[in-house]
Amino acid sequence: MQDQKHALSFQDIILALHRFWARQGCVILQPYDMEMGAGTFHPATTLRSLGPKPWAAAYVQPSRRPSDGRYGENPNRLQHYYQYQVIMKPSPAEAQELLLASYREIGLDPLRHDFRFVEDDWESPTLGAWGLGWEIWCDGMEVGQFTYFQQVGGIAVDVPSFEMTYGLERLAMYVQGVENVYSLRFNDAEGPRALSYGDVFLRAEKDYSAHNFEVADTDMLMRHFGDAETECGALVGRGLAQPAYDQCIKASHLFNLLDARGVISVTERAAYIGRVRALAKACAEAWVAGEKEHG
Amino acid sequence: MAEFFLELFSEEIPARMQAAAAEQLAKLVGAQLAPLSPRDVVAFGAARRIAVTATIAAEVPASASEVRGPKLAAPPQALEGFLRKNGAAREDLVEEDGYFLLRRNLPSRPAGELIAGEFAQALAGFGWPKSMRWGQSGAFTWVRPLRRVVCLLDGAVVPFTLGPVSSGDESEGHRFLAPGAFRVNSAAQWREELRARFVIVDADERRERIRAGLRAAAEDKGLGVAEDAGLLDEVAGLVEWPVCLIGAIDPGQMALPPEVRELSMKVNQRYFATRDAAGTPAPYFAFVANIAANDGGAAIIAGNERVLRARLADAEHFWAQDRKQRLESWLPKLDAVTFHAKLGTQHARAGRIEALAREIALALGADAAAADAAARAGLLCKADLVSGMVGEFPELQGIMGGYYAEASGEGDAIAGAIRTHYQPKGPSDEVPSGVVSAAVALADKIDTLREFFRIGETPTGSGDPFALRRAALGVIRIVLETGLRLNLMPLVGAEVFDFLIERLRVKLRGEGKRFDVLNAVLDAARDDDLTRLIARTEALGAFLASEDGANLLAAYRRSTNILRIEDAKDGPHEGTIDPGLLAEPAEIALADALEAVGLEARRRLEDEDFAGAMRGFAALRAPVDAFFDHVTVNAAGAELRRNRLRLLARLRDVMHRVADFSKLEG
């Protein structure tokens, strides 16, 4: 790896991606203020990929996967991590070239590394969404996921979007040549207050692992799931698509927590996923109806 | 004649679809360009393109056509319909023999017109397993965004549009090593130009390059590469410019079971395993990059080594965690795993397999200790389904159970039986040997067959979601390949037994053997001991292939034909032969021979000496031939005739002890 000591810090990678995608005309959004399992859940991706209007956005989204908690002991797994998400509608003809240029921007030269587009059919059962695309491999490492959206919320998209997701920690580990996520240099290692990823997140990983697996009140979570479901339906009824969708995101995260607590049986699992999908579908329909109405 | 060339250049096509797409493209040329008599059709499939070239006629030759229309007397609507359908006018028609006739001379048509017309239209409906729309595609779909179409006829562009793309003469080489477009003027120049631009467009050539490259890379370290044809094919579809490299495996991670390490390498990373001179797994992996990197591949190797280290660290975690518990302690967890909604949990299934494995082991003559071992292995064989490792790598089910049984001190026989109980997994997979392993593997499959038949989930023409055909074939192969003597009927029941026989027929047919022989044997005796059944079948097959056999079969048919006709008059002609009525020497000789051969056949069949029984039949040939040469069956005397017909019936019945010869074909 070329000169990994001078490789970009974690935050510099984010800043470099922001600058790059801003130049491509994306609005740079801030993370959505709700707990969610992946950057795709952000309404800037799900809702905006529907309807005919052009759209382009890039943002970082904290992603929560309660079952992936390892009490800070696994060097590769986290229950909270960052995804960098890009969405462009319609998908630009040069999407692949843009993507490769973005990797160059953070220090991965495709003449020195082995970049590949490996078949990956993306599907989100909870969002009722699917698309075709690839995993992006760099030297055998998956450094991103590239999808042309075909369906979202059970609705075939009017205009296919291009969606790119970078797993930021994994990408940064590769760029910095680090084998433990907690040793990532978060900011400038030679600056006045050098901090590692562990300095920022290790305590939280331990505490949240205990919360996700041992402590979270499952009765309360189930109640909240039901509340979110009801509220979502009421809001859809009033045509308030995004507030309704907030409740769908909430229900999805509550389900993930219940799943981590191990209180959902295999058969119930499919039923819960179906309930969330029904919410996503209703929200997507409400969104599309609103877009047509507002022109 | 003209050279036709077509390249469809797109974003990366999934490796598994390339070969079939190339084949489909060749077929499309054959079918759609048939009026141009295409020959030398060659198709190519690679990561970013499919292409085809052919020699075709420069034009569709002129031809005459004649279509008969309605009767002259038909109502005017019929005539109007006919004219509309054929795009013709009334004055184009002639009247002949009471009908309207449309005679047309079709002028010759340039090849380009057919290509840009019907061919391009058919191309738009190309059948990808999964296709998609993109930002510029409108309603048109392709496997991934289609970027360029090159279509040439003797070097000149044939203009048409395919979705959002207009055909032209520009293609592209390697994405990174030779960016930008180049002009194509012939198929040969295209191939050479691509090679200069770091693309090997022929899949076989890529595969051979990779095979040789991997071997050379491994030889540098004094190693060999573990063969894996499927992986080789896949990798050949992932790269346009294969560069073979070799990386080191962390020595500490060589302590993992090789199956675990090599599966992770293959499934997650598409790496090839290496072997030392003794054939033992070596601490290196071989792999294929798509680029000759500007640092000689150092960064690529370092990166891949690091990725593998992380992958195997995951596996090491499961390996360590799983071995902290005894295999047995996972059984209660199987209660939470549903096998099938109507068939209960995996725990219930394990209990059934436990009982069945014991029953089979005893039927196979195992002693009490071996029967206990089979039952124990049956009970534990599904426990690894809830282990961390199998959760991560479902392909390792059984194999991990074997390791964990060993680690739990279950002993070699039980561990071995668990390890192999899914076998044979495919046609090239080995069958388990030894009474304990065979009993458990049979119990697993028989339980599956019995249970799914019980709830009516049997295979249909289109689908076999529970792989019951594979399970049945597994039972057949285990029994036959290890020569087990087992009466299957009490274990499986009539319905499953019929299914087994049906699969046995398919298997024999697949091996190019005569399955009518099996039918003939089965109809003589419904034998549920497959080993004996096949021994009978093979002995009969060998006999029929001999001259004596063919001759006797002819005599049998002659006899049964006569009997069929005569029985219709006043039959059946069964009963004891009256020795007093035997007049001619030839009929006396035949009666004696039948007596002797009948006794002999009975004794040999009891001894299961089927070849011997058949050899005995050979002795019938001469007397049978002599009988038909010298004896008139339909003799004048009624008693004489009846006795001779009884003689023929006796011949048939003696032969039927071995097989129903009427079921034989040919």
Task: Identify which of A112, A132, A138 has the shortest CB distance to residue B130.
Answer: A132
pLDDT at B66: 85
Residues near A218 by beta carbon (within 8 Å), at least 6 away in sequence:
A258, A261, A263
Residue A60, phi-psi category: left (phi > 0), alpha (psi -120 to 50), beta (remainder): beta
pLDDT at A5: 65
- The CA-based angle A109-A114-A116, given to 5 degrees, is 110
ipTM value > 0.95 = no
Overall average pLDDT of the B229-239 stretch = 93
Residue among A1, A92, A121 whose CB faces B130 most closely: A121
The class level of CATH for A4-210 reads alpha beta
Residue-wise pLDDT tens digits, B441-467: 999 999 999 999 999 989 987 788 889
Q: How far is A128 from chain B (nearest CA, A)?
A: 17
Q: Do A111 and B291 touch (CB under 8 A)?
A: yes
DSSP letter at B430 equals: P
Q: Report CA-CA distances (Å) from B478 to A137, B434, B443, B451, B549.
A: 43, 10, 11, 20, 31
Structure tokens at B289: 């990059």
- pLDDT at residue A4, as a whole number: 65
Share of chain B above pLDDT 70, in %: 100
Q: What's the mean pLDDT when you consider all of chain B?
A: 93
- Which residue in chain A is spatially nearest to B143 when comparing CA positions? A132
Tens digit of pLDDT for each residue in A155-205? 999 999 999 999 999 999 999 989 899 999 999 989 999 999 999 999 999
Q: Distance from A235 to chain B by nearest Cα, in Å?
A: 32
Q: How many CA atoms lie within 13 A of B66 on its CB side?
A: 6
Whether B238 and A116 lie within 8 Å, measured CB to CB: yes
- The better pLDDT of the pair B615, A256 is held by A256
Q: Are B520 and B659 in contact (CB under 8 A)?
A: yes
Residues of B with CB below 8 A from A133's CB?
A: 144
Please, what's the b/e burial string for A7-34 (b: 16 or more CB within 10 A of its CB; e: otherwise)?
Answer: bbbbebbbeebbebbeeeebeebebbeb
Give B-chain residues touching A93 at CB under 8 angstroms: 135-136, 145, 147
User: What pLDDT was estimated at residue B67?
Assistant: 87
pLDDT of residue A2: 46
Cα three-residue angle B252-B254-B260, rounded to 5 degrees: 125
Residue of B nearest to A121 (CA): B130
Q: Give the span between the Cα atoms of A214 and B579, in whole angstroms.
A: 95
Report yes or no: A203 at the B interface, CB cutoff 8 Å: no
Residue B254 near residue B203 (C-beta atoms within 8 A)? no
- At A263 the pLDDT is 84
* pLDDT tens per residue, range B237-269: 999 999 999 999 999 999 999 999 999 999 999
Asked if A89's CB is within 8 angstroms of B135's CB, the reply is yes
Cα-Cα-Cα-Cα dihedral sign, residues B378, B382, B384, B386: negative
Number of helical (H) and strand (E) elements in chain A, helices listed first: 7, 8
Q: Which strands form B99-106's sheet, in the order they lie side by side?
A: B63-71, B99-106, B93-96
For residue A98, give how far its alpha carbon lies from the nearest alpha carbon of chain B (Å): 13
Specify whether domain B543-663 bears CATH 3.90.79.10: no
**CB-based contact, A3 to chain B, within 8 Å:** no
Q: What is the pLDDT of residue B515?
A: 78
Structure tokens at B64: 């005459």
CB contact under 8 A, B136 and A75: no
Chain B residues with CB under 8 Å of A2 CB are: 299
Ranges B44-48, B414-418, B576-580: which has the least confidence: B576-580
Percent of chain B with pLDDT over 90: 69
List chain B residues with CB under 8 Å of A4.
Answer: none
CATH 1.20.58.180 placement within chain A: 217-293
Nearest CA in chain B to A89: B135
Which positions in chain B touch A91 (Cβ < 8 Å)? 134-135, 145
The pLDDT tens digits for B167-185 are 999 999 999 999 999 999 9
The reported pLDDT for the residue numbered A1 is 44
Residue B305 pLDDT class (50, 70, 90 cuts): very high
Q: What's A113's DSSP letter?
A: S
Q: Is A121 on the interface with B (CB under 8 A)?
A: yes
Nearest-CB residue to A114 (from B11, B300, B317):
B300
Mean pLDDT of A87-105: 96
Q: Please, what's the b/e burial string for A163-200 (b: 16 or more CB within 10 A of its CB; e: otherwise)?
A: bbbbbbbbbbbbbbebeebbebbbbeeeeeeebbbbee
Q: B460 — phi, psi (to 5°)?
A: -115, 175
Q: What would the mean pLDDT of B382-401 be, rounded to a whole number?
A: 92
Q: Residue B457 burial (CB < 10 Å; 0-12/13-18/19+)? A: middle
Place of tokens 């001759």: B551
Identity at B141, one-letter amino acid code:
T
Tell me which fold the domain A217-293 belongs to: Methane Monooxygenase Hydroxylase; Chain G, domain 1 (1.20.58)
By Cβ distance, the residue of A115, A150, A265 closest to B133 is A150
Which one is the CATH code of B2-59+111-196: 3.30.70, 3.30.750, 3.30.200, 3.30.1300? 3.30.70
**Are A92 and B135 within 8 A, CB to CB?**
yes
Please tell me the distance in Å from B176's CA to the nearest CA on chain A.
Answer: 7
CB contacts, 8 Å: A76 with chain B: 310, 313-314
User: What pLDDT digit, counting tens, does each position of B481-536 carry?
Assistant: 999 999 999 999 999 999 999 999 999 888 888 778 888 888 887 789 999 999 98
A140/B132 touch (CB, cutoff 8 Å), yes or no: no
| Residue A295 reports pLDDT greater than 70 | no
pLDDT for residue A57 is more than 90: yes
Is the pLDDT assigned to residue A6 strictly greater than 80?
no
| pLDDT, tens only, A136-155 | 999 999 999 999 999 999 99
Determine the CATH number of domain B327-512. 1.10.3210
Residues in chain B with CB shorter than 8 Å from the CB of A150 are: 132-133
Cβ separation B137–A132 shorter than 8 A: no
| Mean pLDDT for the stretch of residues A79-91 | 97
pLDDT the model gives residue B526 = 79
Distance of residue A178 Cα from the nearest chain B Cα, in angstroms: 9
Positions of CATH 1.10.3210 in chain B: 327-512
Neighbours of A270 (CB within 10 A): 12
Query: Chain B closest CA to A114's CA: distance in Å?
Result: 6
Which of A108, A117, A164 to mutate to probe the B interface, most B CBs <10 Å?
A117
Instruction: Give me the mean pLDDT over the A15-31 stretch.
Output: 98
**How far is the alpha carbon of B149 from chain A, nearest alpha carbon, in Å?**
15
Dist CA B588 CA B580 (whole Å): 10
| Residue extent(s) of CATH 3.30.930.10 domains in chain A | 4-210
One-letter amino acid of A207: D
CATH 1.10.730.10 in chain B, residue ranges = 543-663
Looking at chain A, the whole-number percentage of residues with pLDDT higher than 90 is: 85
Which residues of chain A neighbour B302 with C-beta distances below 8 Å? 1, 139
